[in-house]
Amino acid sequence: MRPKGSAAVLEARRRRALAWLRKGWSLHEVARRVACAPSSVLRWRDTWQRGGMRALRVRASPGRPPKLTPPQRERLVRLLLRGAMAHGYPTELWTTARIAALIATTFGVAYHRDHVGRLLHQLGWSHQKPERRAAERDEAAIARWKRVRWPQVKKRPRA
């Protein structure tokens, strides 16, 4: 696990440890002073001997490579824009499980449905929950109720 501190702080710590080693300080004393394991100090020394001070610079950790390449991601967006019904689903609603299945069949890559939401976010999309409304809903009757009945039943502040 990476210690806390910016890259500059970590690099300064390594340079300081090497300077103390070159002055003849013991390995354990240097490790104690920079608050790390003696094996880390040895690793820094060996790295410095092989590549100089440039070799001690902090490098960014790229992390795990993405499962889908950039062209595959672009193709996924195009597939999603065609709609869910174009891919054999009974409704136009894209769920994360449906998108995961589409990715698996199209690209041969398995994504957990929970991770699909993160993937959508990376693509600039967001998953949204549709409003659930009854098919029998009468908008005119609702508007009439709000206009006529709601003022009658609404509580009024006490005077």
Query: Residue 142: inside a domain, yes or no?
Result: no
**115 inside domain:** yes
Does residue 38 sit in the same domain as residue 76? no
* Residue 71 CB coordination number (10 Å): 8
Number of domains in the chain: 2
> SS3 letters for 24-86?
CCCHHHHHHHHCCCHHHHHHHHHHHHHHCHHHHCCCCCCCCCCCCCHHHHHHHHHHHHHCCHH
User: Does a structural domain hold residue 63?
Assistant: no
Domain identity same for 52 and 85: no
78 in any annotated domain:
yes
The answer to the question of residue 14 being in a domain is: yes
pLDDT 10s digit of each residue in the chain, 159 long? 567 778 888 899 999 999 999 999 999 999 999 999 999 999 999 999 998 888 888 887 788 899 999 999 999 999 999 999 999 999 888 989 999 999 999 999 999 988 999 999 999 987 777 777 888 888 899 999 989 988 888 877 776
d(CA 36, CA 18): 13
What is the reported pLDDT for 1? 58
Residue 145 falls inside a structural domain: no
Indicate if 78 and 118 belong to the same structural domain: yes
Put simply, whether the predicted model's pTM sits higher than 0.75 gets the answer: no
Domain annotation covers residue 50: yes
User: Quick one: pLDDT at residue 73?
Assistant: 96
Q: Residue 77: inside a domain, yes or no?
A: yes
Domain that holds residue 74: 70-122
